[in-house]
Structure 1
Amino acid sequence: MAELLAAVNPSKKLISLGTGDPAVYPNFFGGGREVFTDAVKATVSSGLYDSYPPAFGLPPARRAVAEYLRSVVKGSGYLRGHPLHLRDSDVFLTVGATQALQTTLSVLGPGIPGGNILLPRPGFSLYDSACVLAGVDCRYYDLLPSRRWEADPSQIRELADSRTLAIVVINPNNPSGAAFSGHHLLQIAEIARDLNIPIIADEVYGGIVFGGGRFIPMACFASFAPIITIGSLSKRWMVPGWRFGWFAIYDPNDTLHEVRNAAEIMMNINPGPCSVIQAAVPAILSDANDEFHESVIALLETCMDTLYKGLQQIEVLECYSRPQGSMFMMVEVDTTRLLGIENDMDFAKELMKEESVLVLPGSVIGLKNWIRLFFGLPTDLLSEACDRMNSFCKRRMVKNAW
């Protein structure tokens, strides 16, 4: 991304569709966020939260996250098996979802020498780096555009062996924008049950669904296999810079006892999230903020539609399915029809040089000759970005010989 930013055309204002930061345009998402900032102001003014918080997080904040997660599962109406068991002590507060996934992979990694993790492709590149740091091999199962980005369960089974430590599921999905069906999640839960391994459920975009999509938490299937759910305030609450995340262990049969012990040791070593943010979390997660979330989701759907419709006018770009969740879509680039463009990285570089539109090359996240586009910005900028991409592609279009 730094290399691409260095190639920006100085004569045109940068439009970034490459980085998923919804807080770049705070006024775009309207009112309601002041509830969150007021809660933080109150905790700072009180002077009660200037000391070190407990290693696993302030008890009221852990309780608020646990209550929120329980309500999401209950609200989905999709709970399978025995009742959901999630105690406050099953929740660990972290410096964003990044620390949550790093901690999770670090404690799972030593379980089996030469262990491996099953990751989705395309996926989130931070998992690759975290696996390297944890000494864990990456094995990739494919998300299929022809199946609305759901995977082939048989491929997941074939990839697994006796050294497989966990399956990662990102839902709603970054980068494809898919919201996985309950049936598909059940298939993955059955695989994890048969392999006797946990599922790492990355639900950072949990609740951000639209266009007929439905968010079904992986914890609904905790009776099949242990679930480690990763979440944060970053996207749904539009405050990524606050760096507040969590992981929650759903383990009704206590099969992850040693993993939990290792996680507690890790959390005692590593610093947690800011104490004043933790203290504000009960107010931030309150049901009183539902109107804000509904407004944001409606706006995101409008943004998605704007970008999706704009792409339909660009002959060499193809988006196979309308996103139903997260803030991203994957778009295939027909490089054979563009002069001087051999791959997705060439496309991204030349687009920046000529039009100052930043996109994420798909090869970075495991899918060559695709690009990932972020649509969490004002619709006028999305329309302008489409116009610029269209102009670029028309200039580079290979002309028919006849």
Structure 2
Amino acid sequence: MENGVVKWRFKGRQELIDASAGTVRAVCDAVVSNLNPSDERPVIALGYGDPSSFPSYRTSPIAEDAVVDSVRSAKFNSYNSTVGILPARRAVAEHLSKDLPYKLSPDDVYITIGCSQATEIILAVLSSPGANILLPRPSYPYYEARAAYEHLQVCRFDLLQDKGWEVDLDSVQALADENTVAMVIINPGNPCGCVYSYEHLEKVAKMARKLGIIVIADEVYAHMTFGSKPFVPMGVFGSLAPVVTMGSISKRWIVPGWRIGWLVLTDPNGYLRKHGIVECILSYLNISADPATLIQGALLQMLEGTKEDFFSNIRNIMNEAADFCYDRIKDIPCIDCPYKPEGSMFIMVKLNMSLLEGIDDDLDFALKLAREESVIVLPGTVVGMNNWVRITYAVERSSLEDGVGRIRSFCTRNSKLKNPLCHKP
């Protein structure tokens, strides 16, 4: 206290504020705040990847029954192991092993609070002074935010849009140095909607082996594919390079609010254990929160009992929505859609700034679209792509049609092509 005035010694951590500013939630909230309150039309939210509120995307009755049974069993009301309860870890190991050339053990599996906590864990474990990781561009922005929080340096390799958003392996090799510890692969892709072939993933694994780094495989959209390429898990190549796979029930079962995911080590050669990664994961879990045991208790019934017709129905709805979105958007003046999605819930759309009038950049586009049409999209800057936007098609079909129609109206109104017939050829 000085001259009767208390001198408070605490203050907020600016780094945390800076790190969170570029997340999907933060930017979408900023766009939402620009909505016109006098517009009586319903808001069309095409910026988030959460279809759970729409009737067409309701989760499986098997999943709902599994949670009810878990609660009523009274077996999952107490604290449990920080790595997750054994039945849940065993269920995930068996579920993922179906697609692998070797069998996972429950000891390879750590149950997490969604895929987000899995991301937090592995980035915290890998963050040592001077270390860096390689992130794709475009990419899900949570990685960069968490890396900044952990003081883990980020280098961005490109995804090649003219090759279906494949990894630019030459870019990876050029970026990597003696401080590089891992690279991130998102498959099926967020935000691109791409699906990688077996051959391409094998090349990625061989590159990781050459560089001596971990492949962090974000597979939260695993098996949500509807193009010509089937989903291939990165763990198939765990014998070439150690793979840390992250997944969850959030997307495939359409229950993001249930907050259950996993971090899985596919490393038959034992490199992760030899180099202390396993020990560090266990240590991190000892000082972090645990996922709800009642949802863990439901995992076995969910993973084993959900019928294929539920998943195929969701894929069919997604496929039709992706087709509609791609076909309609590519005919809208001033924007281009270079790649038709083959998986996940998103499509990347490129803005032709030279044909837009009164629009400064992708953020300005999103803000004015919200203000004028009550449609929310995600500015591409958030995912590392200036003057692009990410749009989700995982909404009710009527909402998608309405939203795309409003985007067309907005682009036509703000186009330099004053002649309405001067659209794309």
* TM-score bracket for the superposition, by shorter chain length: over 0.9
Query: Aligned ranges for residues 3-402 of structure 1 at < 5 Å?
Result: 3-10=30-37, 11=39, 12-25=41-54, 27-29=55-57, 33-73=60-100, 83-110=101-128, 113-257=129-273, 258-399=276-417
* Distance in 1 of aligned mates of 2:118 and 2:85: 16
Partner of 2:9: none
The count of residues paired between Structure 1 and Structure 2 equals 389
Cα distance change, pair 96–16 in 1 and its aligned pair in 2 (3 A): same
* Distance in 2 of aligned mates of 1:213 and 1:354: 39
Q: 1:83-104, CA deviations, whole angstroms, 9 ceiling, x for partnerless residues?
A: 4242110000000000001101
Q: State the AA in 2 paired with 1:139.
A: C
* Distance in 2 of aligned mates of 1:133 and 1:394: 41
Identity of aligned residues (%): 39
* Distance in 2 of aligned mates of 1:85 and 1:171: 21
Q: Report the Cα offset of residue 134 of structure 1.
A: 2.0
Answer whether contact 2:347 2:390 (CA < 8 A) is retained. Answer: yes
* Distance in 2 of aligned mates of 1:287 and 1:171: 25
Stretch moving more, 113-122 or 280-289 = 280-289
* Distance in 2 of aligned mates of 1:21 and 1:374: 9
For the aligned residue pairs, the C-alpha RMSD in angstroms reads: 1.4
Q: State the AA in 1 paired with 2:356.
A: L
Q: Report the Cα offset of residue 287 of structure 1.
A: 5.0
Q: Report the Cα offset of residue 400 of structure 1.
A: 6.4
Stretch moving more, 379-388 or 115-124 = 379-388
Cα distance change, pair 29–191 in 1 and its aligned pair in 2 (3 A): same
Answer whether contact 1:117 1:167 (CA < 8 A) is retained. Answer: yes
Structure whose alpha-carbon radius of gyration is higher: 2
SS of the equivalent of 2:286 reads: helix
Answer whether contact 1:345 1:361 (CA < 8 A) is retained. Answer: yes
Answer whether contact 2:63 2:306 (CA < 8 A) is retained. Answer: no
Q: 1:295-342, CA deviations, whole angstroms, 9 ceiling, x for partnerless residues?
A: 111111111112112112202111111100100010001122111102
* Distance in 1 of aligned mates of 2:418 and 2:53: 42
Extract unaligned runs of 5+ from structure 2: 1-27
Answer whether contact 1:344 1:370 (CA < 8 A) is retained. Answer: yes
* Distance in 1 of aligned mates of 2:265 and 2:239: 13
Superposition TM-score, scaled by structure 2 size: 0.89
Answer whether contact 2:333 2:415 (CA < 8 A) is retained. Answer: no
* Distance in 2 of aligned mates of 1:392 and 1:307: 16
Q: Report the Cα offset of residue 24 of structure 1.
A: 2.0
